[in-house]
Amino acid sequence: MRPFDTIAMVDWSGGNDTGPRPRKDAIWACVAGAEPVYLRNRMLAEGWLCDVIETALAAGRRLMLGFDFPFGYPAGFACAVSGSDDPLRLWDWFEARVEDAPCANNRFDLAGEINRGLGGKGPFWSNGLKRDIAGLPRTKRVYRNPFPDRRAVEHRARGTFTCWQMAGAGAVGGQVMMGLPVLARLRRRFAGRVSAWPFEPLDKPVALVEIWPSLTLGKAPEGRIKDAWQVERVAGDLAGLPQAELSRRLDVTAPEEGWILGVDQG
């Protein structure tokens, strides 16, 4: 495998625009060797990502882009929703249905719609809006999940959160739902030049990979925003890995659910 010349990492968010002042629980991105970048909403983040990809392609540099949200769901979900167990088909399915703007999106309504199509009590739960949404329970009192609660990789990585929770402490469900459409558009815009790991061979100039910074990083230094510090550290750490070790970590088989880079598959 040809070495990566540029490493960039992104800490994602499923929420609304976070304002002009850099803050925590927002989108932060970092190219190894550079300062972290604050991106107040997903529209700006997608533009930044396109610029990074175009710059790398124009320079003939191989690029790894990491994102801190699951690239797939537990087994069975993709086929039940999209008609195929190919996770990249599911990316396209979400891209066709997610409505997103800086200050509003339909992630809770879409979660309720999916639940209603699967019986009305799951797999998604927790509504972060004041209005009720048919099919999306606020708590787990009447919750029923027709799929596994976690992916195989999440059983190996302690401290991870289920992708079914849409709101509340530790929720990553919104990040997944609002992130996959962006990845789908990147694959379409740069068709033939982007590979999605671990679903495709890494034989293209750009690789999209799933990360989880808390896998290896502890508490941020005093005065640093944790999200900004984490993407800076992960980008730098991956850039400094020997090629043989990075290749070993990328040698993973998880064609439906995806995997977190750095978790040993055993």
Over the stretch 81-107, which tens digit does the pLDDT of each residue have? 999 999 999 999 999 999 999 999 999
> 141 lies in a domain?
no
pLDDT(2) > 90: no
Indicate the DSSP class of residue 165: B
Confidence (pLDDT) at 4: 97
List of long-range contacts for 151-155, beta carbons under 8 Å, 24+ apart = 151/70, 151/72, 151/73, 151/74, 151/75, 151/257, 151/258, 152/254, 152/257, 153/254, 153/257, 153/258, 153/259, 153/260, 153/263
DSSP 8-state symbol, 113: H
Beta carbons of 38 and 55 less than 8 angstroms apart: no
Predicted local confidence at residue 29, as pLDDT: 98
Over residues 28-43, the pLDDT tens digits come to 999 999 999 999 999 9
DSSP 114-162: HHHHTTSS-S-B---SSS--TT--SSSTT---SS-SS-HHHHHSTT---
What's the pLDDT tens digit per position in 200-210? 999 999 999 99
In a domain, 121, yes or no: no
Reported pTM: 0.97
Residue 205 lies in a domain: yes
Mean pLDDT of 57-76: 98
d(CA 193, CA 151): 28
pLDDT at 51: 98
Spatial CA neighbour of 45 closest among 15, 88, 83: 15
In the prediction, which pLDDT does 219 show? Answer: 85
Sign of CA dihedral 171, 173, 178, 184: positive
Note whether residue 202 is domain-resident: yes
Kind of pairing between the strands at 37-39 and 27-31: antiparallel
Q: Is residue 260 domain-resident?
A: yes
Q: Tens of pLDDT along 102-113?
A: 999 999 999 999
Mean pLDDT calculated for residue range 54-82: 98
CA 98 to chain centre: 15
d(CA 260, CA 263): 6
How does residue 217 score in pLDDT terms, banded at 50, 70 and 90? confident
Using the predicted structure, report yes or no on whether residue 1 has a pLDDT greater than 90: no
Q: How many helices (H) and strands (E) does the chain have?
A: 8, 8
> With bands split at pLDDT 50, 70 and 90, how would you rate the model's confidence at 218?
confident
What is the residue-averaged pLDDT of the chain? 96
Indicate whether 156 belongs to any domain: no
Average pLDDT over residues 4-30: 97
Q: Give the mean model confidence (pLDDT) for residues 6-18.
A: 97
* pLDDT-based confidence at residue 261 (cuts at 50, 70, 90): very high
Residue 109 belongs to some domain of the structure:
no
Task: Name which of 231, 229, 232, 210 is nearest 220 in CA terms.
Answer: 229
Domain range spanning residue 79? 1-101+181-265
86 occurs within a structural domain = yes
Residues in the chain: 266
Per-residue pLDDT, 89: 98
If one counts the domains in the chain, the total is: 1
